[in-house]
Amino acid sequence: MPNFIQQKHNLNAPKVSNLDFIYQEIAKRMFDRLDYIKIIPDTILDIGSGMGIDAKLLKSKFTKTSIIELDLSINVLKQYQIKHGLLKKIFAGEMKYVCADAVSLPIKSQSVNLVWSNLCLPYIDDIEAYFKEIRRILTLGGLFLVTGFGVDSLQQLRDVGLNTYNFPDMHIIGDILVKLGFSHPVTDLEYITLEYDSIDQLLSDIRIVGCGGAVKNRRSSLSKAGYKGLSDSFNKITKHGKIPLTLEVFYAHGWKDSISLDLPDNKKIIQFRPKGA
Show me where the domains of the chain are located: 3-7+15-256
User: Which pLDDT value is given to residue 5?
Assistant: 34
Using CA atoms, how far apart are residues 28 and 33, in angstroms rounded to an integer?
9
**pLDDT digits 0-9 by tens, 104-140:** 999 999 999 999 999 988 888 899 999 999 999 999 9
The yes-or-no verdict on residue 25 having pLDDT over 70 is yes
Using CA atoms, how far apart are residues 77 and 85, in angstroms rounded to an integer?
12
Using CA atoms, how far apart are residues 229 and 47, in angstroms rounded to an integer?
40
For the segment 215-228, the average pLDDT, to the nearest whole number, is: 59
- Band (7; pLDDT cuts 50, 70, 90): very low
Using CA atoms, how far apart are residues 254 and 256, in angstroms rounded to an integer?
7
What DSSP letter does each residue of 202-261 carry, written as one string?
HHHHHIIIIITTT----GGGS-HHHHHHHHHHHHHH-BTTBEEEEEEEEEEEEEE-S---
User: Which pLDDT value is given to residue 158?
Assistant: 86
User: Which pLDDT value is given to residue 148?
Assistant: 93
User: Which pLDDT value is given to residue 191?
Assistant: 95
- Who has greater pLDDT, 228 or 248? 248
Report how far apart the first and last C-alpha atoms of the chain are (Å, whole number).
55
Task: Kindly report the number of other CB atoms within 10 A of residue 224's CB atom.
Answer: 8
CATH number given to 3-7+15-256: 3.40.50.150
72: Cβ contacts below 8 Å, ≥ 6 apart: 48, 99, 100, 101, 102, 123
Would you say the pTM of this structure is higher than 0.85?
no
- Band (78; pLDDT cuts 50, 70, 90): low
Using CA atoms, how far apart are residues 112 and 198, in angstroms rounded to an integer?
43
The yes-or-no verdict on residue 160 having pLDDT over 90 is no
Using CA atoms, how far apart are residues 120 and 10, in angstroms rounded to an integer?
26
- Closest of 62, 51, 243, 33 to residue 145, by C-alpha: 33
Least confident of 3-12, 103-112, 150-159: 3-12
Contact status, residue 31 vs residue 55, Cβ threshold 8 Å:
no
Contact status, residue 68 vs residue 96, Cβ threshold 8 Å:
yes
